[in-house]
Amino acid sequence: MFLENASLQARNTFAIAANSRFLAEVTTSAQLIDLLHTVTAKNLPVLVLGGGSNIVLSQDVAGLVICPKLMGIRCLEDQNDTVIIEAAAGENWHDFVQYCLAQGWYGLENLSLIPGTVGAAPIQNIGAYGVEIKDCFHSLTAVARQTGIAREFSLSDCLFGYRDSVFKQALKDAYIITHVRFQLSKKATVKLQYGDIAAELAQQHIHSPLPVDVARAVIRIRQRKLPDPAKIGNAGSFFKNPVIPQALFSDLKHQYPNIVAYPQGEQVKLAAGWLIEQTGWKGRTLGKAGVYEKQALVLVNRGGAQGKDVLALAHAIQRDVLAKFGVSLEIEANII
């Protein structure tokens, strides 16, 4: 059941070389529950590793790495205008989104090409181009690490926030998600107001877009802006877009008229990539880690980078952004 001294380099998209003391893959909920009852799982720290697309391995993992490989997609409920779809945690997120589109189930198309697995998606309430998981979320099933008992979580139970959920806060490292359910629409409505989607569609001469057109536009935009992890090691957006008070934004807007920002209720969300670019970091390298030439929000492995190289670069960027703008950048990637 266990692999010993297992390499994790191919299991994280940053391609950082690190090993785990033990590693186990599980393909069913029953296997996961049995594994959690073993002496190994009860006596060692446990790290759950899905697609490895949002982590930085700063050291070897001294405990047990569990890789959920649960697969399967099914329709639980089909009403006139909506469906409830359940996907197992090991399903590839992008493939799941495209499958839903092909069936005529809409709502997730703006989240196309986000790396990772379905099980990881609710943990940080993944979002892009004006849509977040919480907008279509129905419920999920997760297994308690300490007891192996399964529990259902509703939308309100998950306490979703901007790149946040109860699984990153009060229940951090307490549960392993096995299945996620979404309520999707059978009506082909689209969301075009965020980012470059409308411009991309116009460039393609698409004036009455369908959800599949939006998905294709998002894919083209992401492919232009973001590096393919199969070619350049990275963990996607490395920092959260900071949310600041309106008063601070007014001061910054006066100093920097071209600052990129979006309303966030009574506050304002700044584009972290723009802040980083203004400090001169875009395209630069520090040690064996660097900032991607096409998108300053993405840190990359220039070849042979270790976790400490990535963190040194991240901290240097944080210091410079704070010094220039008085704004603190929070790391979005999980540091292990």
The tokens for 147 are 């007891």
Half-sphere CA count of 87, side-chain side, radius 13 A: 24
Say how far apart CA 65 and CA 44 lie, in whole Å.
Answer: 10
From the list 68, 70, 55, 66, the residue with the least C-alpha distance to 21 is 66
User: Residues 38-43: contacts with CB within 8 Å, 24+ apart?
Assistant: 38/1, 40/2, 40/64, 41/66, 41/145
Catalytic residues: 163, 237, 332
Residues 6+ apart with CB under 8 A from 255: none
Beta bridge mates, 324 = none
Say how far apart CA 306 and CA 308 lie, in whole Å.
Answer: 5
Residues 6+ apart with CB under 8 A from 148: 32, 33, 36, 37
